A and B are shown apart, each in its own frame.
Chain A
Amino acid sequence: MEEYDLEILAAKYPHSHWGKEYLKKNSIDLNKIDEKVFQKIESVFKKEYEADFLVDYLTPKNEVQAYLLAFNLLINPKLQNARERLASAFFSWLSNRTSRLLSNESMMIILEYFEKSLKITPLIQEKRIVIKIADFFNLCKNTHKIKLVELPILKGMIFLDKYQAASLAGELTYSYLFRILNEKTFLATAIDNEYFERFNKAFKKEDLKVATKLDHTKYPPCIKLFIEELSNGLAITHFARFTLAAFMRQIGVKKEHVKEFFNKASNFNSQRTEYQISHIYGEIGSRIKYSAPSCDTLKVAKLCPIQYYCDRYARHPVAVYKRRMRQIDRQ
C-alpha cells in the first residue's frame, strides 16, 4: 500500500492495523498533547459528538494520538467504576464512525479491515463478503446492536453486501475494542499523569443514588401491567415478580417500597416476599444485585404485552424507562 493511503487510513481508523503500521513508522509522544486533542476526547466521552473526526483526519498524527491517549486513560486501573460507561461512549462513537467510513471504501479495503483488524478471514462470493457465523459469535460478545435474527444467514455463513459488511465491521469493532480494553486493563499499572487527573476529575462516577425522582407513568408497559395485576389482587408468575423487583432496584427504588407492590397479591407472604426482594437487591445469598431481564427474554416468557417493542431503540425495560425520563429532562 502506498504511503499516502496508509496515512489516510490510519487517520480514519486509528484503532486498526493501519493505525499500528502508522505508529511503527512515526513516533508519537502521549505526554505532549495539543489541548485541542484533549478537548475533543472529552467531548466524545461526554457524548457531545460534534464531528466524524476527533481533530482533523487530514492529520493522522492527531487522530492516532487521540485514540491512544483515550485508550490509555480508559485502561488506568484507578478509573474503576466509570470505565465501562466511558468506554461504551468512546467505542460506540468510534465504531459508528468506522461503519460510516468503511461504507465508502472499496470491497478490498473492507476485506482487509476484517482480516487484519478484526482477525476474521472472510471469503468473497458473488460480490459479497462472506463470514462464518462462528466468527460472528466470537466477536459479537459486547454488542447488543447486531441481531443475529436480522443477518443474512445461510448454511453457517453470513452473506454481506458492501454496506452490510461495513455496518457489521463497525459493530464488531465495538466488541473488538472492549476485548482489547479488558486485556490491557488487566495488564496496566496505575499512572497519575496530568491528563489522567483531569480526566478522572471530569468523569468520576457518582455513587449510585437512591432515586429522588420517579415517575410511574413512564414505566414500560410490562411493568405497568405487573403492577396493575398485583393491585387487582392477581398472582403474577415468579418471573414477572422477579422482573418487577429487579426493575425497581435498577431505577433506584428503596427495597421497603418494592414490597408494597406485592402486598395485595392473592398469594402474598410477607416473609417470603421480603426474603426474595433482599436476594434481588444483593443483600443476602449470593450477594448478586440482579438485573431485570431484557425485552427479548420477556417476550420469550410471554410477559411482554406489546407485539413488537414499546421503544424504537431501547430493548430493556430499564432502558425504556430511562429514555422516557431523559425526554422529560430535556423538555
Chain B
Amino acid sequence: MTDNKKEDQAKLLVNILQEYYKNNAEKVYMPEEFENREFGFSFFDGKFKRHISFHSFDDYKTFLIENVPKDVYYSIALYRNPSIDMQNKGWLGAELPFDLDAEQVLRTSDELLKRGWISSSQYQRIKELAINLIENFLEADFGLKSDDYLVSFSGSRGYHIRIKEKTYLGLDQKARRQIVEYVAIGPSINFPTHQSRFLPFAHDYGWNRKIFLWLKHIDSTAFSADEVALKILAKIKKLNKPSELVITNVERRAFENMFTKALSELTISIDERVTVDVNRLLRAPMTVHGGSGFLVKPLSKSSLEKFDPFVHASMPLNSYRRIIVKEIPFEVSINNETVSPSDQGKTIEVNSALAYYLVIRGGGNILE
C-alpha cells in the first residue's frame, strides 16, 4: 500500500475509534487513585505522548473523544506528581503486573501469531494459562482474593493481571523478580551426590505440593518409556504428602527428568520485564487496542472463563463499512458477522468493528 493510501485508511480507522469513544466514553474504566496515575497515548501518526495526568475523570473522557488516540495506557505506579519527569514524579508504589503475551506463554514462534493473527484455539490456551496463574499461584499460593487483582484482556495478544493489594504496592524490583521466579521458573533440585537416599521435598507446601500433586495425578503413559520413572510414580501415588517421598541414588536421573517435565507443565512464561518494571504503563481497560480494534476488557474470574475476544471484546458499534477483503489466514467472526478466506477479493459490507480488525491486520481495505 502506498503512503497516501495508508494515511487514508488510518483516517478511516480513526473515524471508527471516534465513533466508539463518542458513544461509550462512560464505559471507560476509572482506576483507583486516578489522579496519581501517569497516562500515555499513541496516535496513528506514530507520535507517543506520556507524562500526562488528569484532575478529573471527565477530563480523561473528553481527552479520548477529542484526541482519539490509537492506544491508551496508564501507569501501574502511583506518583505524587504524575505529569512531571520521571526523576521528580515521586514514586508512591506500584501495582504488581503480570503480562501473558501469546508468543511468550504459548512458547511458539508461529509467524501468523507474530503478525497478530491469533486463532480462537490459541486464545483459548492463553486464557487457560491466565486462569491457571490466578487459581494456582495468586489465590492458592499468595492468598489473594478476587478484589485484590484486576484481570483484563490486553486487547490483542493476551491478558494483563494487576495485583492491587496494598502489600504488593511497595515491592521493589528484587522482590518482584522473586515472584517472577516463583511463577515462571520454579525450584531446582540438587541431589547430594554422597547420599544413597534423598528426600526431594523438604516440606509439603508451595512448589513441592504443586509438583507432588502433578506427579500423583499424571497418567503413567506420560513416562511409559522409563521403567524407573514408572516405579517412582507408583510410589508417589501411594503417598499422602510430598515430604514422605524418598528417592534412591538409582532413581535419581529418572526423578530429575520427571521433575523437569512437571516444571515445564506447571510454570507460566510471563513477561519478566513487565512484572519487575515499577514504572510500567499498561493498557487502560475499556479503551480500544489500536492494533486490533478489540477492547481492553476488564474481566471477573467467572467472565474470564467464558470469555472469547471475538465475541466479547468487539467494539459495540451500529455502523457498517464497505471493505475489499484481502488474504486472511482463517475465518474471522466479530459481532455475529463472518469473513472467511474464500471472500478474498470480494467487496462486502461488514460491521465497523470487523472492518477495523481486518484492515489493521492487513486483511482488507475500507472503501470510502
Interface residues in chain A, defined as those with a beta carbon under 8 Å from any beta carbon in chain B: 133-134, 137-138, 140-141, 144, 147-157, 159, 161, 164, 294, 296-297, 299-301, 307-309, 312
Q: B108 within 8 Å of A by Cβ?
A: no
Expressed in whole angstroms, the Cα–Cα distance for A159 and B242 within the complex equals 14
A300 and B205 in contact, given A134-B167, A148-B178, A154-B141 (Cβ under 8 angstroms): no
Q: 7 nearest interchain CB pairs?
A: A156-B143, A152-B205, A134-B167, A152-B203, A153-B206, A155-B143, A148-B178
Q: Which of B171, B174, B185, B205 contacts A153 (CB 8 A)?
A: B205
Inter-chain contact B188/A301, CB cutoff 8 Å: no
Expressed in whole angstroms, the Cα–Cα distance for A291 and B272 within the complex equals 17
Expressed in whole angstroms, the Cα–Cα distance for A161 and B206 within the complex equals 14
Inter-chain contact B178/A301, CB cutoff 8 Å: no
A149 and B181 in contact, given A154-B141, A159-B205, A308-B190 (Cβ under 8 angstroms): yes
New A-B pairs, 14, CB < 8 Å, besides A154-B206, A154-B209: A140-B175, A144-B174, A147-B178, A148-B181, A149-B182, A149-B206, A151-B206, A153-B206, A154-B143, A155-B141, A296-B180, A300-B181, A300-B272, A312-B190
Inter-chain contact A296/B181, CB cutoff 8 Å: yes
A297 and B177 in contact, given A149-B207, A307-B260 (Cβ under 8 angstroms): yes
Query: Which chain B positions have C-beta within 8 A of A157?
Result: 143
Inter-chain contact B172/A141, CB cutoff 8 Å: yes
Inter-chain contact B175/A147, CB cutoff 8 Å: no
Expressed in whole angstroms, the Cα–Cα distance for A230 and B171 within the complex equals 37
Inter-chain contact A296/B206, CB cutoff 8 Å: no
Expressed in whole angstroms, the Cα–Cα distance for A133 and B170 within the complex equals 14
Expressed in whole angstroms, the Cα–Cα distance for A138 and B178 within the complex equals 13
Q: B187 within 8 Å of A by Cβ?
A: yes
Interface size class of B (residues with CB under 8 A): 35 or more
Inter-chain contact A309/B188, CB cutoff 8 Å: yes
Q: B335 within 8 Å of A by Cβ?
A: no
Q: Which of B242-284 contact A (CB under 8 A)?
A: 260, 272
Inter-chain contact A148/B182, CB cutoff 8 Å: yes
Q: B31 within 8 Å of A by Cβ?
A: no
Q: B140 within 8 Å of A by Cβ?
A: yes
A152 and B184 in contact, given A133-B142, A141-B174, A141-B175 (Cβ under 8 angstroms): no
Q: Which of A133, A150, A161, A164 contacts B207 (CB 8 A)?
A: A150
Inter-chain contact B208/A152, CB cutoff 8 Å: yes
**Interface core residue of A141, A153, A164, A308 (most chain B CB under 10 Å):** A153
A308 and B188 in contact, given A147-B181, A159-B203 (Cβ under 8 angstroms): yes
Query: Which chain B positions have C-beta within 8 A of A141?
Result: 172, 174-175
Query: Nearest CB to that of A159 among chain B residues?
Result: B205
Q: Which of A140, A148, A156, A307 contacts B144 (CB 8 A)?
A: A156
Inter-chain contact A164/B185, CB cutoff 8 Å: no
Q: Which of B140, B167, B202, B203 contacts A137 (CB 8 A)?
A: B167
A137 and B209 in contact, given A154-B140, A157-B143, A297-B272 (Cβ under 8 angstroms): no
Expressed in whole angstroms, the Cα–Cα distance for A312 and B190 within the complex equals 9
